[in-house]
Structure 1
Amino acid sequence: MRLHRNLVFATVDALSEIFNEGNYADKVIEKTLKRDKRWGARDRSFIAETTYDIVRWKRLYAEIADVKAPFKREDLFRMFTVWAVLRGIKLPDWPQFAGTPERRIKGRFDELSKIRKFRESIPDWLDLLGEKELGEKTWTKEIHALNELAPVVIRANRLKISPEQLSEILKKEEIETQNLKNYPDALVLKERANIFKTKAFQDGLFEVQDASSQRVAEFTGVEPGMRVVDACAGAGGKSLHLAALMENKGQIIALDIYGNKLKELKRRAKRAGAHNIETRSIENNKVIKKLYNSADRVLIDAPCSGLGVLSRNPDAKWKLQPEFLDNIRQTQQEILQQYSKMLKRGGKMVYATCSILPSENQKQVEFFLNSEDGKDFRLVKDEKILSSDSGYDGFYMALLEKK
């Protein structure tokens, strides 16, 4: 591989924004890729993948390069140099790479790879927490899996098309997919591609949605004609899946505290041809109280640490703080206590997170069932999905029934 100056400089600029200004990697990369109209698909792919790679391995590379945050420009070039040397890329004769100690870089890598927190490039506190909650063996396997590049999985929109038909249409757009066993609506891309540019996407034939995330709507056991509340709907990935499972019959009330996310959901629902979704912004408690004892199903896709989706959001491990986890656990419990009241007797509720920590998952459900608000509920079943077992995002789902 030959390194091109403008692509390397664009990558270093992006890293500076992510590491020093605390901006989200996906937003920074999106902005960076618009910088030069002459860049082709390969150039854009180099910037995006290299930036994500260095973000993923920030701690390891910084340790090898012997640099500390906040990173000066020469520090970021040193980290880039580590990335290139470890990939066997021939460094060009630029001043930034003069005197690169290749043998020392490789030796340091071998040395640090024996220590998990460096090898998997994670903060100390997170390494301790993961081991405490999951046990050493499971945590070691899981954090390794979460550092793998996530595959691109899409969900065929059954309101418009079957996965088999979608696969044929995408093939005509030069995108090869394959079916996923045990995931009825899912297709996985054989090679990464910008599928948002396809006509199939613009026609609402599919959504990008990880295989584990596709399990959640199915877990609710919804049927056409039901009244369903998606209580933390966000931009609506699961609302859209619920609409497809309900064949557009019945009612889905999509709630969220962020109005801008619900606007995005409306846009996506229109494209998908999902007509049974109504959005309501949670501006106060009255919005929730109006729905008490009215829903056949309630889905609580709770805000969480997001530790199960590190493979697609590698910068999250640097933004996450221990105090955020304490606060989010409290929020999860408050949401469970309050939103469970929207369920009618005999109705069912799913509590789900994209976390792998029992303290956000099983323990929250146990606490709820032992509380005053949870005394009328019983646990029907629950499922934890580990990335190291499934190859997809880490997730947790519990199905609860109101007696």
Structure 2
Amino acid sequence: MSAREITLGILTDISENSNFSHTVINRTLNQYQYLEKQDRAFITRLCEGTVERMFTLDYIINCYSSVKVNKMKPFIRNLLRMSVYQIKYMDQVPESAACNEAVKLAKKRGFGNLSGFVNGVLRNIIRNPEKVVYPEEKKDGKRYLSVTYSAPDWLVEQLINQYGYVAAKQYFEAALQNNKTTIRCNTEKITVNELKVMLEQEKVLVSEGTYLLEALKIGGYNYLSELNSFKNGYFQVQDESSMLVGTVSGIKDGDYIIDVCAAPGGKSLHAAELLRKSGQVDSRDLSETKVNLIRENINRLGYVNIKAKEADALVLDQDSIEKADILIADLPCSGLGVIGKKPDIKYNMTREKQKDLAALQREILSVVHQYVKKGGVLLYSTCTINEEENLANVRWFLEHHDFKLESIEDLLPPALLSDTTKEGYIQLLPGVHDTDGFFIAKLRRN
């Protein structure tokens, strides 16, 4: 199978079956490990780019096609999307090659009767680019953001209402930029400088993190799991926003820490390292599959003061009541902070799902807050930027439970200080901050 045919299969799985793009891409690349690095890079770029810009691509296609995108056969719809992405956004791909390969694929997969249609639409796009009339930002800012940055109308409206037009635009711009992988150095095994040298020897592109000394940004690698530095447990993939949970927690030697929704374990593992081989971390999640992911990371990194186990955060564990010095509650959320890495989220999420998730978060908090000792700390976090799931839930929690917000100002890098960090919480917004979108609140039990 050619790289384009493999890509088409991935896109069909993502768009027609609502499967997560990063999961389908990784699974498929593992299946075709014989492919050259260049082909794998092409597949990844074409898949991720097509998913990221799906609304924009559909808008372009609809300007040229008599049959609207939503009326097309799934195969043809995705074939046109990925072909238009190559024409519009991949300078190294000749326009004629994108068109010709699409026609060949249509014939090969039994759509010869539609190959002329595919050829006609793509040739028209190449020859007459002026036919696409984009919304004007000054006349209709919301529509402009939706079409330009490929975002659903409801999400554009929500972000403008919550953060203002400028911040919303910055957020959507940041989501379309090529984000490097951020890693946290395992300082129990290696120093940051030593890890940087080792990665460079492995032909990995390395730069320093933006806010934290233990963070590095990497790129240009093939398979992460093939790197000796990864296999030997010298680092963990973790965004700086997620690392900040451990940074503001105030972890002390000997603390007992519970992480209730932990998989794949980034925050639990960071907590174990901050304990400096003392204390204990209980890293919990709902399913055996998720818990096994945590165990794999524990074994690879070599921490001795952390255990993973299956536990439902909605079911009260009597043995844990008032035992935890620190409780980490990084709860299921709408994930809007990570659409730069998981772009399909913006197409699959809805306002109704957001409301359901906010309610679930309150249910979980109502149970797990009981694990915090009197005087202990609860860290509430999500990887979303939706206020209903973040600050609104914190305010609700404080109304119903005997906790108070505690300043995190002395524990944060100076570049992240704000009025809210004095109060005890921070909302990170891509485009405004050089991180994923993330919310952290530090609450101390009275």
TM-score tier after normalising by the smaller chain length: over 0.9
2:303 is matched with which residue?
274
2:254 is matched with which residue?
225
Greater Cα offset, 31-40 or 192-201: 31-40
Greater Cα offset, 324-333 or 146-155: 146-155
Quote the Cα distance in structure 2 between the aligned partners of 1:335 and 1:320. Answer: 21
**Match of residue 191, structure 2, among 162, 166, 169:** 162
User: How far 1:34 moved relative to its partner?
Assistant: 4.1
1:275-354 paired onto structure 2 within 5 Å? 275-283=304-312, 288-354=317-383
Q: Is the 8 A contact 2:53 2:150 kept in 1?
A: yes
- Deviation string 1:330-389 (CA, Å, 9 cap, x unpaired) is 111122222111111111111111111221111111111111xx2343443111111112
Say if 1:201 and 1:110 are closer, same or farther in 2 by CA, change over 3 A.
farther
User: How far 1:113 moved relative to its partner?
Assistant: 7.1
Greater Cα offset, 93-102 or 239-248: 93-102
User: How far 1:280 moved relative to its partner?
Assistant: 2.9
User: How far 1:288 moved relative to its partner?
Assistant: 2.5
1:188-199 paired onto structure 2 within 5 Å? 188-189=217-218, 191=220, 193-199=222-228
Quote the Cα distance in structure 2 between the aligned partners of 1:201 and 1:278. Answer: 21
The DSSP-based 3-state class of the residue aligned with 2:425 is strand
Which letter maps to 2:224?
Answer: I
1:401 is matched with which residue?
444
Q: Is the 8 A contact 1:150 1:392 kept in 2?
A: no
1:14 aligns to 2:10 (yes or no)? yes
The DSSP-based 3-state class of the residue aligned with 1:68 is helix
Say if 1:11 and 1:377 are closer, same or farther in 2 by CA, change over 3 A.
same
With normalisation by structure 2, the TM-score equals: 0.84
2:418 is matched with which residue?
none
Which letter maps to 2:15?
Answer: F
Q: Is the 8 A contact 2:198 2:229 kept in 1?
A: yes
- Deviation string 1:298-356 (CA, Å, 9 cap, x unpaired) is 11111111000000001111121222111100111122222111111111111111111
Quote the Cα distance in structure 1 between the aligned partners of 2:55 and 2:437. Answer: 22
User: How far 1:195 moved relative to its partner?
Assistant: 2.6
The DSSP-based 3-state class of the residue aligned with 1:215 is helix
1:125-164 paired onto structure 2 within 5 Å? 125-164=154-193
**Match of residue 98, structure 1, among 112, 116, 119:** 119
The DSSP-based 3-state class of the residue aligned with 1:393 is coil
User: How far 1:284 moved relative to its partner?
Assistant: 7.8
User: How far 1:126 moved relative to its partner?
Assistant: 1.8
1:377 aligns to 2:427 (yes or no)? no
Q: Percent identity?
A: 25
Unmatched 5+ residue regions in structure 2? 63-68, 104-114, 138-143, 408-423
Q: Is the 8 A contact 2:277 2:303 kept in 1?
A: yes
- Deviation string 1:168-193 (CA, Å, 9 cap, x unpaired) is 11122122312224312111125454
- Deviation string 1:223-279 (CA, Å, 9 cap, x unpaired) is 221011112112211111111111121011112222221111111101111111122
Say if 1:144 and 1:37 are closer, same or farther in 2 by CA, change over 3 A.
closer
Q: Is the 8 A contact 2:272 2:303 kept in 1?
A: yes
Quote the Cα distance in structure 1 between the aligned partners of 2:377 and 2:234. Answer: 29
Say if 1:113 and 1:249 are closer, same or farther in 2 by CA, change over 3 A.
farther
Say if 1:396 and 1:385 are closer, same or farther in 2 by CA, change over 3 A.
same
2:415 is matched with which residue?
none
1:212 is matched with which residue?
241
Greater Cα offset, 255-264 or 85-94: 85-94
1:53 aligns to 2:52 (yes or no)? no
**Match of residue 388, structure 1, among 431, 437, 441:** 431
The DSSP-based 3-state class of the residue aligned with 1:401 is strand
Which letter maps to 1:81?
Answer: S
**Match of residue 70, structure 2, among 68, 71, 75:** 68
The DSSP-based 3-state class of the residue aligned with 1:297 is strand
User: How far 1:83 moved relative to its partner?
Assistant: 0.9
Say if 1:197 and 1:150 are closer, same or farther in 2 by CA, change over 3 A.
same
Quote the Cα distance in structure 1 between the aligned partners of 2:399 and 2:190. Answer: 44
Q: Is the 8 A contact 2:259 2:284 kept in 1?
A: yes
The DSSP-based 3-state class of the residue aligned with 1:207 is strand
Quote the Cα distance in structure 1 between the aligned partners of 2:427 and 2:293. Answer: 29
Of Structure 1 and Structure 2, the greater helix share is in 2
The DSSP-based 3-state class of the residue aligned with 1:33 is helix
**Match of residue 264, structure 2, among 226, 235, 241:** 235
The DSSP-based 3-state class of the residue aligned with 1:212 is helix
Q: Is the 8 A contact 1:19 1:70 kept in 2?
A: no
- Deviation string 1:69-125 (CA, Å, 9 cap, x unpaired) is 675322222212221221343222453563311357633555247411111111222
User: How far 1:158 moved relative to its partner?
Assistant: 1.3
Greater Cα offset, 361-370 or 255-264: 255-264
- Deviation string 1:177-228 (CA, Å, 9 cap, x unpaired) is 1222431211112545433211110011111111211111112111221011
The DSSP-based 3-state class of the residue aligned with 2:358 is helix
Quote the Cα distance in structure 1 between the aligned partners of 2:31 and 2:370. Answer: 50
